[in-house]
Amino acid sequence: GIRPPILNGPMHPRPLVALLDGRDCTVEMPILKDVATVAFCDAQSTQEIHEKVLSEAVGALMYHTITLSRDDLDKFKGLRVIVRIGSGFDNIDIKAAAELGIAVCNVPSSSVEETADSTLCHVLNLYRRVSWLHQALREGTRASSVEQIREVAGGAARIRGETLGIIGLGRVGQAVALRAKAFGFGVIFYDPYLPDGVERSLGLQRMATLQDLLAHSDCVSLHCSLNEHNHHLVNDFTIKQGAFLVNTARGGLVDEKALAQALKEGRIRGAALDVHETEPFSFSLGALKDAPNLICTPHTAWYSEQASIEAREEAAREVRRAITGRIPDTLKNCVNKEYLMAAAAQWPSLDPAASHPELNGASAAYRFPAGMVAVGVGGASLPGAGATVEGLVSGPLPISHPPHTPSPGQTSKPEPDRDVPADQ
């Protein structure tokens, strides 16, 4: 059965907030330190999260490297809010979370420019073949005569007059459209979630169906979220013959086996993927390892130092709003609010303090000090932290401020994907 909802019930004076799949909390700490204790788990699954966090964490911060299914969510006994540091939330069962009384939030705006810029880089690369020309020179190819240039640069194409088809015209999709127009692309889009008239305000052409968009596109760019309705949206039947494909949204949108076969058979001109069905991506594994005319990057289209810090700050502020306000009313980007309201209508009238006595401090074990602590598993302390599991359970914890280490998906300095149904 579903545990009693505790969205706005009594809360411990210093609730626990856990970063589930990272260990750098230096950006979040200044925002949360006066209202919560922040712990980092550095886990890749809920099996690696200590029982103390599962039992008592009120808030959770997470990147895209851990998945929270219904069974995973049910392990958390006091959780009220999850904030995804980034915009995509396909790694969280948001409906199950709502039924358990857990609000799920995201940070949809921090990496819009970075992702749009990266998308245009991929598009331009496919048309002008910069990566392949660079590699040819690295391999010793000489191109001095017109014939040699024609051979090494074969496939390079003029952009002006080409049509870019965008699937999903959310924040990133719109930013890509505006940039593409400046390069001379005609831009069309398909997005069944947007109201009529958006195309007029942006000067774009709207397609009524996905098939219409594919029929008129020279290059297709994906900017929609991944859900149960659009898994393998690009497949054997929807790969556009003779077109380019760019995906900076979610890997599950593309059937990589079908794409690899289309590239090998020359049915598609080329593809650029920043996201993949299995991540972290490796060329040595999977269907794409021998595919020609393919550019792959490691889910980094979202990243810049500025975007990373902004995403982490906003995620921390969202957790703070959940702790100091009311859920979901005071939350800025709650993605399962409709599910929460629907579930709330069916919840029995219960006294959260009676059902969860630890929320009123009844559990003597709930005594985290102010500051940041490391919560490991199996009795082993996390590197760079002074807290062991034994110390966590049986005695006071030292405050630990580990050296700055990039979090999952982060290439340097502090960290965030990716948007609502019509965005990455």
Residues with catalytic annotation? 250, 279, 299
Q: Are 303 and 275 in contact (CB under 8 A)?
A: no
Q: Would you call 135 exposed, middle or buried from its count of C-beta atoms within 10 A (0-12, 13-18, 19+)?
A: exposed
Say how far apart CA 196 and CA 206 lie, in whole Å.
9
**Which helix (DSSP H) or strand (DSSP E) does residue 103 occupy?**
strand 103-105
* DSSP designation for 413: S
Say how far apart CA 133 and CA 137 lie, in whole Å.
6
Q: Which amino acid is at 120?
A: L
**Which helix (DSSP H) or strand (DSSP E) does residue 216 occupy?**
helix 210-216
Centre a 10 Å sphere on the Cβ of residue 343 and count the other Cβ atoms it contains: 20
Which residue's structure tokens are 């007029």?
200
Q: List residues bridging with 61 in a β-sheet.
A: 19, 83
Q: What is the DSSP string of 242-293?
A: T-EEEE-S-GGGB-HHHHHHHHHTTSSSEEEESS-SSSS--TTSSGGGG-SS
Indicate left, alpha or beta for 86 from its phi (over 0: left) and psi (-120 to 50: alpha).
left
